[in-house]
């Protein structure tokens, strides 16, 4: 069994630490039992250890072993942030949940997602 790895660029927030992540999972589950599918492309979770969840506008998600670079254009930024903003506007209960886990202003995260 091997590991899959993707490089992710996300503009948003990070819930960090096992306790915070557990609380966020419970809140998401109460919001919608199918949250995983509904939030596809809007959040990334640590499926191995449960130590983080990133949420926000996912700008890039690619296999860095196969693709060696991705150019983040203004079009990608606008499309991704519009998708995030529209989704949050359409789901005020989710917005209320996520506000509890936001720590300051959104950040630009670049990280490896391994599962």
Domain chopping of the chain, boundaries = 5-114
Instruction: Identify the pLDDT of residue 47.
Output: 84
DSSP-derived 3-state class of residue 111? strand
pLDDT (tens digit, 9 = 90+) per residue, 39-75?
A: 999 999 998 888 999 999 999 999 878 877 889 999 9
Top pLDDT among 36 and 114 is at: 36
Is the confidence at residue 6, as pLDDT, over 70? yes
Please check the confidence at residue 1 and state whether its pLDDT lies above 80.
no
Residue 6 CB neighbour total at 10 angstroms: 16
In order, the DSSP letters of 69-90 are -----HHHHHHHHHHHHHHHHH
Q: Are 81 and 42 in contact (CB under 8 A)?
A: no
């Amino acid at each position: 069994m091997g590991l899959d790895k993707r490089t992710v660029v996300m503009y948003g927030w990070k819930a960090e630490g096992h306790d915070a992540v557990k609380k966020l999972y419970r809140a998401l589950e109460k919001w919608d039992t199918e949250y995983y599918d509904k939030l596809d492309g809007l959040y990334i979770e640590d499926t191995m250890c449960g130590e983080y969840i990133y949420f926000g506008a996912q700008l890039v998600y690619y296999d860095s072993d196969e693709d060696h670079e991705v150019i983040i254009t203004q079009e990608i930024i606008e499309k991704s942030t519009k998708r995030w903003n529209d989704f949050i506007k359409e789901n005020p209960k989710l917005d209320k949940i996520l506000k509890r886990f936001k720590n300051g202003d959104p950040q630009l995260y670049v990280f490896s997602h391994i599962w």
